[in-house]
Amino acid sequence: MAARAYAGGNAARYLLLGAVLFLTLFGLVMIFSASFATDYFKYHDSAYHLKRQLGWVALGLGCMLFLARVDYRFVRRIAWPFLGAADVLLLLVLTHGVDKFGAQRWLSVGGIPVQPSEFAKLAVVLALAALLSEKRRSAAPLGRQALWLALVVLPVVALIMRQPDMGTTMIVLAAAFVLLALGGIASRYLLGLAAAVGAAVPAMIFLEPYRAARFLSFLDPWKDPKGDGYQIIQALYAFGSGGLTGVGLGLSRQKYFYLPAAHTDFIFAIIGEEIGLLGTIAVIAGFVVVAYAGIRVAMGARDRFGRLLAGGLTALIVVQAVMNIAAVTSVLPVTGVPLPLVSYGGSSIIFTLACVGLVLSVSEHGKPAERRRGSGQPEEGRIANVVERRRDGRPRLSGIDGGRAPVRRRA
């Protein structure tokens, strides 16, 4: 038997798998708990959303296992076509998209809503990792490098903002920033980029009246408790009711038509109400483990592309989790992004598990090392010893070193 050394170590690989499976299974439980009352009222089936999410989870786990076995260096070859396909899908959203909740972010495929922006996030990370790992482009003048980076990020950001979806835009920009930092871009340029984005954010907020209203309601939700501040107030009521240990699994009161999007964007509030502070800490701890394990895999990758890919994908998942939790707890304005692995949503769970699969691929193929058990001697050393034994003139043993035993003649 052969033992394989994984990039980042076995511990990082198993920690990542354990945390992802915990969050996914916990999310299934909480989706059912948060949605069964409204599902029974609307669809006469209390497990309506649970059944659909089970299908998405099965498909996502299949993608994760498949991508974990594929050598991540093959993915580098399809990074640019994948980015082009994502741009085309984002364009189709603007012309043939489905409008929900005042935003046009979905395409209907056979009656099933698909959110292309989820896959566009993955496409940006793949393309940036491929771009920053190419030596010929890394050695190019700064202006040419900036042009290539802009060609990757700006079309995706512009198309997502047209939907409009500022939350996903901020996630893409944050992941791009992490990739640039991992790619060795000088800190002065990173600081300049951060300052430019920071100056653009207020403009993006106040150019749209609904964003301005949402931001002002974040500052003082009780100023408009039945309008823009309603959702965040109901979420805070949920956390306040939960206390340390919660009111009990399945016993939330806010999910009974008080808290909108209870099983999607605001599922963290239902966790806080039903399982309390301990439940929310468990979820946060799960994402901390994902971040730690992803960083370990990235640090142990054998090449620059693997390091950038694992780091960028980990940043996508963790940044989105931080933004969702911060919005639900009123630390940031409501962004409309789901909690990865936990919230209901087909595109979100498939995309997130696919990202995990690619990180596992970096771990699997990032630092291969075959070793024989027992003495731990490599195969080359064993062959050398066999040759040395033959040179010594000692008898050859058939079945061990490939020779035939000498034939003894009778006297």
Query: Tell me, what's the pLDDT at 402?
Result: 43
Q: What confidence tier does 400 reach under pLDDT thresholds 50, 70, 90?
A: very low
From CA 170, how far away is CA 152, in angstroms rounded? Answer: 15
Query: Tell me, what's the pLDDT at 380?
Result: 41
Instruction: State the alpha helices, DSSP H only, in 133-229.
Output: 135-138, 142-161, 166-182, 187-207, 209-219
Query: Tell me, what's the pLDDT at 101?
Result: 65
Query: Tell me, what's the pLDDT at 366?
Result: 67
What distance separates the 2 farthest-apart alpha carbons in the chain?
113
For the chain, what percentages of helix, strand and coil (3-state, to nearest 5) are there? 65, 5, 30
Per-residue pLDDT tens digits for 250-294: 999 999 989 998 999 999 999 999 999 999 999 999 999 999 999
Question: Has residue 246 got a pLDDT over 60?
Answer: yes
Q: What confidence tier does 102 reach under pLDDT thresholds 50, 70, 90?
A: low
Question: Has residue 6 got a pLDDT over 80?
Answer: no
DSSP, collapsed to helix, strand or coil, labels residue 108 as strand
Question: Has residue 10 got a pLDDT over 50?
Answer: yes
Query: Tell me, what's the pLDDT at 390?
Result: 45
Q: pTM, whole model, 2 decimals? A: 0.84
Average predicted confidence (pLDDT) for the chain: 84
Rounded mean pLDDT, 230-258: 92
Query: Tell me, what's the pLDDT at 403?
Result: 45
Per-residue pLDDT tens digits for 103-148: 788 888 877 888 899 899 999 999 999 998 886 555 556 667 788 8
Rounded mean pLDDT, 16-23: 96
For residue 361, the surrounding DSSP H or E stretch is helix 346-366
Per-residue pLDDT tens digits for 322-334: 999 999 998 888 8
Contacts of 359 (CB under 8 A, 6+ apart): 16, 294, 297, 309, 310, 313, 314
From CA 107, how far away is CA 224, in angstroms rounded? Answer: 33
From CA 85, how far away is CA 17, in angstroms rounded? Answer: 29
Domain ranges within the chain, ordered by starting residue: 8-372
Q: Bigger pLDDT: 375 or 291?
A: 291
Question: Has residue 401 got a pLDDT over 50?
Answer: no
Query: Tell me, what's the pLDDT at 381?
Result: 43
C-beta neighbour count of 381 within 10 angstroms: 12
Query: Tell me, what's the pLDDT at 4?
Result: 62
- Per-residue burial over 158-168, b if 16 or more Cβ lie within 10 Å, else e, is ebbeebbbbbb
Contacts of 23 (CB under 8 A, 6+ apart): 283, 286, 287, 290, 340, 341, 342
Q: Bigger pLDDT: 171 or 113?
A: 171
Q: What confidence tier does 211 reach under pLDDT thresholds 50, 70, 90?
A: confident
Query: Tell me, what's the pLDDT at 148?
Result: 83
Closest CA to 216 of 103, 320, 334, 338: 334
Q: Bigger pLDDT: 156 or 374?
A: 156
Query: Tell me, what's the pLDDT at 207?
Result: 79
Could you tell me the strand order of the sheet in which 112-114 lies? 98-100, 103-109, 112-114
Question: Has residue 409 got a pLDDT over 90?
Answer: no
Query: Tell me, what's the pLDDT at 162?
Result: 87
Is residue 304 within 8 Å of residue 277, measured between CB atoms?
no
Query: Tell me, what's the pLDDT at 334?
Result: 84
SS (H, E, C) 228-285: CCHHHHHHHHHHHHHCCCCCCCCCCCCCCCCCCCCCCCCHHHHHHHHCHHHHHHHHHH
Q: Map tokens 């980990």 to a residue.
A: 314
Rounded mean pLDDT, 161-168: 87
C-beta neighbour count of 244 within 10 angstroms: 9
φ, ψ (nearest 5 deg) of residue 67: -70, -30
